[in-house]
Amino acid sequence: MPDTPGRSPLLADRAFLAVTALTVLDVAAFLLQERIGRLWPAPVNWLLMIAVIVPTLVLCRRVRTDPASAPVVRRYWRRVQAGISLFVGVAALRILFESGAGGWLLPASVVLHLVGGLVLTWPLVGLPLSARGRARRLGVWLDLGTLSSAAGLLIWHFAASAQFADGRVTPERVLSAAVIMGAGLNGVYLAARVVLAGVDSFARRGLYWIGASALIGGLGSAISFLDPRQPDGNPLLVVLPLAAYAAAVGARMQVVDTAAGARPRRAARGYSLMPYVAIAAVDGMVVYHNVRGTGDGLLIDGVAVTLTALVVIRQLTAFRQNDALRGRLSYEASHDMLTGLANRAHFGRRVEAAVNGADPDQPVSIVLVDLDDFKIVNDRLGHATGDALLVHVAERIRAGVRSTDTVARLGGDEFAILFEGSTAPDVDQVLTRIAAALLEPAVIDGEPMTVRASFGVVDGRGGDDAGELLRQADIAMYEAKERGEGGYERYRPGMEARGAERSRRAAALHTAILSDQLVTFFQPVVTLPDGRIKGAEALVRWQHPDDGLLGPGDFIDTAEQTGLIVPLGTWVLRAATREAATWPGELTVSVNVSARQLRETGFPAVVAAALRDSGLPPHRLTVEITESVAVGGGATNDNLQGLRDLGVRLSLDDFGTGASTLTLLATCPVHQIKLDRSFAPGGGSDAIADAVAQMARAFGLEAVAEGVETTEQAARLAQLGYEHAQGFHFARPMSAADLRGRLAEATTTT
């Protein structure tokens, strides 16, 4: 009958009720017949066993076809169902034998019984142990050995030794005792194996019942085969139904727990009860022997000694495990798990030990290291690549120092180095070497990368305050970072004051951005030679509440050093596009963009949002970048291409002062180059201005000259082929209102 979602659970419930009722009936009938004699012909007893097995098979089928069960669970119950099915054949052969069909049917049923037992044993042996690690597995095997020794003693005393009750030893009796011992120990082993199984997919309660089924079926079958009343008084008639019922309960528990969702497994104890149960059992045997005076006292004593030895070995193994665990916990508490370096707490302790235990003349240097622009790596390439980069940095730093120096990761992208006994020049050499090593290209998760780092150094001596040295190293590190060039900075007295002033300026600038204290000025860009306005370059000013109107030289450095250049640049971009959208015709606006902005993930989207909100067409916006920005690679190149895809024009500003190469012009997707003001024609040679104009023509780019201050310069630039220019000769930077007035005058004149 095919399973259906609506019918299978109900069918399983009915099958479980049926197997419970039939098992009770079977056990009651067996006990009653043992007392008063047969109630019905012998084949009826075997038919009753089949009646118990059939609903058990239904429950097994329910588990193996349950889509909610894990594949390993379904495979296990498929094998169990196959094994239990063989016992239907065993009962059928017994029925035929009891009906007089032939004497060969009895040994045939025994062979089929053994095959069924092997089929049922195999999936239990395949269950993995929950213990992980060699030491833990050794402990489990010691526990199994302890339990098996105690179980062997009990099975021998209460079952196997009965074969030699009259003192006679024959091959047949030895074989019988061996069968009892083997089957019993196998049942105990399988039951223990189930208890120790580490398969989360199985319901824990179901596994316990599976173990009970193995113990009842294995030990009970062995005793039943050797019962002298075979085949008339057969314990198999009660052993096999009870084993089947235990399997049925296990299947039912699996169904119920799977339907209820994953049940959390019980937390593993730090100890095992098995050896103590075994010792308690053997101690009971010792007491029993002393009271009753049994004849196997030597065996009992031998097993007791063996168990004691096994438990001692088990405890020694546990002690080793505890020592290893303590060592691992100590390591994890003092080391960074990603890089394997010392962590912040451990580094602090090493610094304390270095300054407190050193001679006053012993030099101690602390270096704090911070990676520049590490956040961009995480944002663009993901945290996995960022972690791989941190591991790479840790390896480069560790390779650059002595084995006696301490390297730590304090958290995030911040590292630290403790030098003991090194002079300041020695430390400088090491840091120069590490900085150069970090700048060497390395492939991280398929991405070629270089790392620039800022180092803050403080030199101390034995007896100095460790906390104060760390604070001073931190101040020096931020001083190095604010230079924006990487490298190292050594702490000097007075740095705190400069740092406080920078913090004050940064806070004021942040307030200015949020409270609209910034003002946009514009310097017209004109055509040559007629001087007609074709657009303007946006320039930012700060209308400071106390200091009045400040030029960019008063705050741009602070913005660059603190990262405020990103929100500042966004503010200028949005203000410039809003203003340019009000200009007549096709007048363009140019906006300067910093290297930090171009390394930001999603910068083209920021520009697109500004254009959309202002209504300015993309071709009327020119983004100006410097040559050093253009060679940034990575996210910079991606963002430049993204801007070009938007339709925004790109311009190389201050051309001629940086990495001006033909390769740059061929590879950078710009539309325009702006000659730096220092190369405008004057009293000297105009060769550079001429060469730049020729390169622009060769690459099909527009050439613009900056810093034009005289009529003669304008005329000469026009002769050289420059189409546009800007400078004080044409107009100084002016407010948006003044530019609108100028444009209105130009329109009226035209």
Query: Hey, which residues does 523 pair with through a beta bridge?
Result: 537
Joined together, the tokens standing for residue 714 give: 């304008």
Q: How far, in Å, CA of 641 to CA of 664, rounded?
A: 14
Instruction: Count CB neighbours of 510 within 10 A.
Output: 16
- CA-closest candidate to residue 42, choices 223, 237, 225: 237
Q: How far, in Å, CA of 494 to CA of 701, rounded?
A: 50
Q: How far, in Å, CA of 268 to CA of 140, rounded?
A: 13
Contact (Cβ atoms closer than 8 angstroms) between residue 230 and residue 253: no
Joined together, the tokens standing for residue 704 give: 């613009």
- CA-closest candidate to residue 719, choices 682, 685, 701, 693: 693
Instruction: Count CB neighbours of 439 within 10 A.
Output: 14
- CA-closest candidate to residue 273, choices 322, 314, 303, 219: 314
Q: How far, in Å, CA of 569 to CA of 596, rounded?
A: 10
Q: Are strands 447-449 and 734-735 parallel, antiparallel or unpaired?
A: unpaired
Q: How far, in Å, CA of 476 to CA of 469, rounded?
A: 11
Contact (Cβ atoms closer than 8 angstroms) between residue 658 and residue 620: no
Helix (H/G/I), strand (E/B), else coil: 293: coil
Residue type, 540: V
Residue type, 489: E
Helix (H/G/I), strand (E/B), else coil: 429: helix
Instruction: Count CB neighbours of 101 within 10 A.
Output: 11
Contact (Cβ atoms closer than 8 angstroms) between residue 285 and residue 294: no
Exposure string of 636-653, with b = 16+ CB inside 10 Å and e = fewer, is bbbbbebbbebebbbbbb
Contact (Cβ atoms closer than 8 angstroms) between residue 659 and residue 631: yes
Catalytic pick from 706, 709, 723, 745? 706
Contact (Cβ atoms closer than 8 angstroms) between residue 269 and residue 37: no
Query: DSSP letter at 552?
Result: G
Q: How far, in Å, CA of 581 to CA of 659, rounded?
A: 34
Q: Is 312 exposed, middle or buried (0-12, 13-18, 19+ CB in 10 A)?
A: exposed
Q: How far, in Å, CA of 409 to CA of 369, rounded?
A: 9
**How does DSSP assign 205-258, residue by residue?**
HHHHHHHHHHHHHHHHHHHHHT-TTTTTS-THHHHHHHHHHHHHHHHHHHHHHH
Contact (Cβ atoms closer than 8 angstroms) between residue 650 and residue 669: yes
Contact (Cβ atoms closer than 8 angstroms) between residue 455 and residue 371: no
Q: Is there a catalytic annotation at residue 706?
A: yes
Angle between helices 71-98 and 105-125 (to 10 degrees): 170
Q: How far, in Å, CA of 123 to CA of 190, rounded?
A: 10
Instruction: Count CB neighbours of 404 within 10 A.
Output: 10
- Work out the angle at residue 116's Cα, subtended by the Cα atoms of residues 111 and 118, and round it to the nearest 5 degrees: 95
Residue 501's H or E segment, with its range, is: helix 495-514
Contact (Cβ atoms closer than 8 angstroms) between residue 509 and residue 556: no
Contact (Cβ atoms closer than 8 angstroms) between residue 251 and residue 56: yes
- Work out the angle at residue 92's Cα, subtended by the Cα atoms of residues 46 and 50, and round it to the nearest 5 degrees: 50
Query: DSSP letter at 446?
Result: T
Active site members: 706
